[in-house]
Amino acid sequence: MFCFQCEQTAGGKGCTKGGVCGKKPEVANKQDELTGALIGLARAAAGKTPGKTADELMMQGLFTTVTNVNFDSSRIDEFIRLVAAEKAKLDPGAQDFPAGTLFTGGEEDIVSLRSTLLLGLRGMAAYAWHAYVLGKRDDELTAWFYKGMRAIGEEHTAEEWLNLLMEFGHINLKCMALLDEANTSAYGHPVPTEVSTLVEKGPFIVITGHDLHDLKQLLEQTKDKGINIYTHGEMLPAHAYPELKKYPHLKGNFGTAWQNQQKEFDNLPAPILYTTNCLMPPKPSYADRVFTTAVVGYPELKHIPGENGSKDFTPVINKALELGGWKEDKQFTGINGGAGLMTGFGRNAVLGVADKVIDAVKAGAIKHFFLVGGCDGAKPGRNYYTEFVQKTPKDTVVLTLACGKYRFNDLNAGDIGGIPRILDMGQCNDAYSAIQVAVALAGAFQCGVNDLPLTLVLSWYEQKAVCILLTLLALGIKNIYIGPSLPAFLSGNVLNILVEKFNLKPISTPAEDMQAILSRC
Ligand code: FSO
Ligand code: SF4
């Protein structure tokens, strides 16, 4: 196996003997085979209208290879079989891409550029799938999956690869817009909401991942059953959607970001439902109560079938009743000891008070905006993000999104004239909201986004962060800080291009970076 797609890759170079994430070589090799087969499917679809089954396989097949999604080789085998059957219908002569050469075949910079596009496509597939299950699709977006996968199987010059990456960044913006539309049309616009971290006594279910459609179905099926629902990880922003928050048994949030799950779920007296990444190999103390759904999979864990239609969560519900929850209420806190988390500052909420924000900037009450967001992870260096937010001056506002926010979302940072200083905009895909807010501010101040008093300080872990970064770069956003370490799949030369073109900066220390940012203001 060879896999270097995530931030925790072995030695900062690549996992070769087994994944740091727990992925076995057999699974990694099958994922490469599936990727090669999807390139074959894209080739077979050239000049044709592939159809619903092929489209679904393309999105699900890519999504399934994202870090911490599927560890079950039998499920990946099934995908390979279905992709082959679909390809045979379109063009039996189309060749699959040789799996073994995906991340190793060719000159270093070309491998780097090819890998970047593939990893971006994997991330975008997850977003496209979430929109798709809510009935939203876009022909240009769907077609780009095929175009992108065909491109991965072709030779290109470095310049052509860079152009493809920028084109992809724009398509991913469309994809995030589509998901925003899917979520807000189904569940309303998020409203600022305080989320409790108290778990009440009695039966409960923890739901994690990004899929709001699964949460909605679970809430419906647990109505009046005496079972409470708690979000975990990236599901936290769900509390802010009117059509989800209306359920009184959606009580609060349990736990923090994905990398703490083995500790947080140890002996948990409740089932845990994984709707997307990020699944870690479960410990025996709770493996019997883990349920996966959609493309998530792990050998021997219980799986709730039904991809984009209705699902039956009865086994999860029965497990909650059997385990019974805790005997007493339990108050939990965030990693800095704070209880009660605010979320729901999506574009609609923030732009709803745009006048107030603009006035505060003009009056000098708000001097700078930071977007401190992205994924969390296990590395000790990630406390950079906590320290960075702690160091932000009192006359600055921190926008945040994705699971990296758990590093600081329980800090009581106060407010500026009623505007909270830390504004949680939602999940990683809600980077779309952040972009919309930045564009609106630039419009109000009649300047470019790069001229705003705004600095992006991003943490990355997996492939959704890759697609978001490519979107930000495609939009021409410069001076982005990125950490905790640089992607192993960026070769020295490719990194140099990004540094020269976009002034992409690796994070250093919170104090040094803060000083550099504020001295430019
Ligand atoms: Fe976190 Fe995992 Fe949303 Fe990622 S849950 S790390 S960027 O999958 O997707 O933020
Ligand atoms: Fe290694 Fe990350 Fe790949 Fe897992 S997903 S095998 S940790 S690089």
Sequence-separated (6 or more) residues with CB below 8 Å from residue 248 = none
Tell me phi and psi for residue 265, to 5 degrees: -95, -5
pLDDT tens per residue across span 339-364: 989 999 999 999 999 999 999 999 99
**103 alpha carbon – ligand 2 mean position (Å):** 13
DSSP sequence for 233-288: GGGGGGGGSHHHHT-TTEEEE-S-SGGGHHHHTTT-SS-EEE-SS---PPPTTTGG
C-beta of 171 in contact with ligand 1 (< 6 A): no
Taking CA atoms only, the protein residue closest to ligand 2 atom 2 is: 6
The mean pLDDT of 96-107, rounded to a whole number, is 92
Please state, for a pLDDT cut of 70, what percent of the chain lies above it. Answer: 99
From the CA atom positions of the chain, what is the Rg in Å? 22
Assign 308 a pLDDT band (cuts: 50, 70, 90).
low
For residue 40, pLDDT over 70 is answered with: yes
Q: Which pLDDT band, with edges at 50, 70 and 90, does 306 fall under?
A: confident
| Of the options 3.40.190.10, 1.10.8.60, 3.40.50.10490, 1.20.1270.20, the CATH number for the domain spanning 10-187 | 1.20.1270.20
Closest approach atom of ligand 1 to CA 465 = 7
Output the pLDDT for position 520. Answer: 78
- The fold of 193-331 is Rossmann fold (3.40.50)
What are the residue ranges spanned by the domains of the chain? 10-187, 193-331, 341-519
Query: Which residue lies with its CA nearest to atom 5 of ligand 2?
Result: 67
Per-residue pLDDT at 380: 85
Global ipTM: 0.95
Q: Tally Cβ neighbours within 10 Å of residue 189.
A: 18
The 8-class DSSP code of residue 13 comes to T
- Give the DSSP letter of residue 171: H
Whether the CB of 69 sits within 6 Å of ligand 1: no
DSSP character at residue 95: P
- State pLDDT tens for residues 449-484: 999 999 999 999 999 999 999 999 999 999 999 999
pLDDT attached to residue 157: 96
Each residue of 175-228: pLDDT tens digit?
999 999 999 999 999 999 999 999 999 999 999 999 999 999 999 999 999 999
Is 453's C-beta closer than 6 angstroms to any atom of ligand 2?
no
Q: Which residue in 153, 176, 117, 141 sits closest to 59, CA to CA?
A: 141
Judging by DSSP bridges, how do beta strands 505-506 and 422-424 pair with one another? unpaired
Examine domains 193-331 and 341-519 and report if their fold is the same.
yes
Tell if the pTM clears 0.95, that is, is over it: yes
pLDDT tens track for 320-342: 999 999 999 999 999 999 998 99
Distance CA 146, CA 268 (A): 43
The per-residue pLDDT for 298 is: 98
The CATH number assigned to the domain with range 341-519 reads 3.40.50.2030
Please name the residue whose Cα sits nearest to atom 6 of ligand 2.
19
Mean pLDDT of 58-79: 98
Kindly indicate the confidence band of residue 104, based on its pLDDT and cuts at 50, 70 and 90.
confident
